[in-house]
Amino acid sequence: MFGKKLKKWFGRHHKPKFSGLEILKYIGPGLLVTVGFIDPGNWAANVAAGAGFGYTLLWMVTLSTLMLIVLQHNAAHLGIATGLCLSEAAVAHLRKTPARLLLGSAMLAAVATALAELLGGAIALNMLFRVPIWAGTLLVTAFVAWMLYSNSYRRLEKFIIAFVSLIGLSFIYEICLVDVPWSHAAVSWFMPTIPAGSIPIIMSVLGAVVMPHNLFLHSEIIQSRQWNLEDKAVICHQLRFEFVDTLLSMLIGWGINSAMIVVAAATFFVQGTPVDQLEQAQAMLRPILGDSAAVVFALALLMAGLSSSVTAAMAGGSIFAGIFSEPFDIKDAHSRLGVALTLVPAALCILFINHPFDGLVVSQILLSVQLPFTIYLQFRLTASRKVMGEFVNTAWHNFVLAGISVVVVGLNVLLLWDMLFNAGA
C-alpha cells in the first residue's frame, strides 16, 4: 500500500527538468519511424521513380515529407495528450462499426507494408546466397517473429538502425560522385509535374513515404516518453520536443529518399536503362564500393527488410490490440495475435507473386489508397475537444489536415482514372 502511495506521489509531483540537452532524451521515436524511409518498398519506389522519370518526380518526395511531418506530429500529439494510440482512441471515441472498419483497413495496410519488407529481405537472401524467394520469405518471417516474440529486437535495434542509416547516407554521399544537373533537380523538388504514365509511381512514392502503419506506431511508441499526463507544462514540453524529433527525423528521411531518386536518375535514366528488379539498384553503389557493391547492397537490403518488418508487425500488433482497448505489449495475447495476423498473410501473399519488383511497387500503391482513411481517423480524433481536451487542434491545424486530405484523395482519384484509362486502352 505504501509503495503504491509513493509511486502515486512521485507520479503527481515529479517533474522532469527540461534543459538544453533534454531533447536528446526525445530523439528516438521519430528515428524509429524513419526506418520506414529506407525500407525495401521505398527503395523500389525511388528507383522506379528515378530510373523511369529522371528528376521530375522529386517534388513528390518534398510534398510527401511535408505531409508526413504534419501527420506524424499530429499522431504523436494524440498519444501524448490522451495516453492512447490511434487504435485505442478510435475504439474509445468512435462508434463500434466505423471504428472497426477503419482499423480493419489499417490492419490491411500493415499487412501490405509487411509484404514489402519481408519480400525485400527475401530478395536480399536471394542476392547473397541464391535462396529461392519463397524460402527466403519463410526464413525472414520466422526470424522476425522470433525477434518480436522473444523481445530480442531490443538488443539488435540500434545496430540495425545504424547500419541501415549508414547505407542510406551513402546515397547522399554518392550525389557528389555522379553528374547531376542541379538546376533541373532543384526545380523538380518544388515544381509538380506529372509525366505520362507516372501516376502509379507517384502513388507508390506517396505510400512509401506517408505509411499509414507508421502513424499508428508513432502514436504508440511516443508514450514511452511520458512522465505525467496530469501536468499541462510537462505535456507542452513533450509536444515541443517531440516536434523537434519528428522534424529532424523526417528531414533525414527526405534527404535519403531524394538522394535515392537523384542517384537512380543519374545512373539509369540518363543511360535509358529500364529497371525491373531491385537487384539492378546495387549498381548505384558501385562508384563508392566497387565490386563489393552487390554484397553491401544486399546486406543493407536485408537489414532494412528485417528492421522494417519488425516495425510493421509492431504496428499491426498495436492496431489489433487497440481494437480490444489495450496498448501494445508483446506478452499480451491480443498483441501477439496482431503480430501473427500481420506477418503470416503477408508471407502467404508473397508466395503468389511472380515479379518481386512489381510486388514491392504495388504494395506501396495500396498504402496510398488506404491513407485517406487513416488521415480521416486522425482528423476526427484530434479535432475533437471531447477527445483532446485543451490540446485539441487549432483551426490552422484542422485547415492543414483538411488540405492534406484533399491532396491525397485527389491523387487517388487520378490513380483510379489512370487505371480505368489504361484498362480501356
Read out DSSP for 87-104?
Answer: HHHHHHHS-HHHHHHHHH
Does residue 323 lie within any of the structural domains? no
Cell numbers of 75, please?
Answer: 499522431
- Residue 21 is predicted with a pLDDT of 39
Residue type at 151 in one-letter notation? N
Structure confidence by residue, pLDDT tens digits, 240-249 = 777 877 888 8
Cell numbers of 93, please?
Answer: 471515441
What does pLDDT average to over the chain? Answer: 84
- Residue 406 is predicted with a pLDDT of 95
Q: Which residues of 149-173 are buried (b: 16+ CB within 10 A; e: fewer)?
A: eeeebeeebeebbebbbebbebbbe
When pLDDT is cut at 50, 70 and 90, the band that residue 91 belongs to is very high
In 3D space, the residue among 217, 246, 247, 259 whose CA is nearest the CA of residue 114 turns out to be 217
Does residue 356 lie within any of the structural domains? yes
Q: Phi-psi bin for 94: left (phi > 0), alpha (psi -120 to 50), beta? A: beta
Residue 85 pLDDT greater than 70, yes or no: yes
When pLDDT is cut at 50, 70 and 90, the band that residue 191 belongs to is very high
CA-angle at 169, arms to 274 and 284, nearest 5° = 25
Between 323 and 285, the higher pLDDT residue? 323
Between 20 and 355, the higher pLDDT residue? 355
Residue 22 pLDDT greater than 90, yes or no: no
Mean pLDDT of the 216-237 span: 68
- Residue 16 is predicted with a pLDDT of 45
- CATH, residue 225: 1.20.1740.10
Residue type at 235 in one-letter notation? I
Distance, in Å, from the CA atom of 321 to the CA atom of 336, rounded to the nearest integer, reads 9
When pLDDT is cut at 50, 70 and 90, the band that residue 9 belongs to is very low
In 3D space, the residue among 359, 357, 364 whose CA is nearest the CA of residue 277 turns out to be 357
Distance, in Å, from the CA atom of 69 to the CA atom of 50, rounded to the nearest integer, reads 23
410-418: list long-range contacts, CB under 8 Å, 24+ apart. 411/199, 411/202, 411/203, 411/206, 411/368, 412/203, 412/368, 412/369, 412/372, 414/194, 414/199, 415/199, 415/200, 415/203, 415/365, 415/368, 415/369, 418/199, 418/200
Does residue 2 lie within any of the structural domains? no
The total of structural domains in the chain comes to 1
Distance, in Å, from the CA atom of 102 to the CA atom of 206, rounded to the nearest integer, reads 20
- Residue 1 is predicted with a pLDDT of 42
Read out DSSP for 150-187?
Answer: TTTHHHHHHHHHHHHHHHHHHHHHHTTTS---HHHHHH
Contact predicate 264/50, CB 8 Å: yes
Contact predicate 242/225, CB 8 Å: yes
Contact predicate 404/70, CB 8 Å: yes
Residue 195 pLDDT greater than 90, yes or no: yes
Contact predicate 215/71, CB 8 Å: yes
Structure confidence by residue, pLDDT tens digits, 100-144 = 999 999 999 999 999 999 999 999 999 999 999 999 999 999 999
Residue 5 pLDDT greater than 70, yes or no: no
Residues 6+ apart with CB under 8 A from 383: 392, 393, 397, 398, 401
Mean pLDDT of the 295-324 span: 89
- Residue 11 is predicted with a pLDDT of 38
Mean pLDDT of the 301-330 span: 91
- Residue 51 is predicted with a pLDDT of 93
Distance, in Å, from the CA atom of 155 to the CA atom of 310, rounded to the nearest integer, reads 13
- Residue 229 is predicted with a pLDDT of 53
Domain membership of residue 389 as a residue range: 22-305+344-424
Residue 63 pLDDT greater than 90, yes or no: yes
Distance, in Å, from the CA atom of 258 to the CA atom of 281, rounded to the nearest integer, reads 15
Cα 129 off chain centre by: 28
Does residue 9 lie within any of the structural domains? no
Does residue 325 lie within any of the structural domains? no
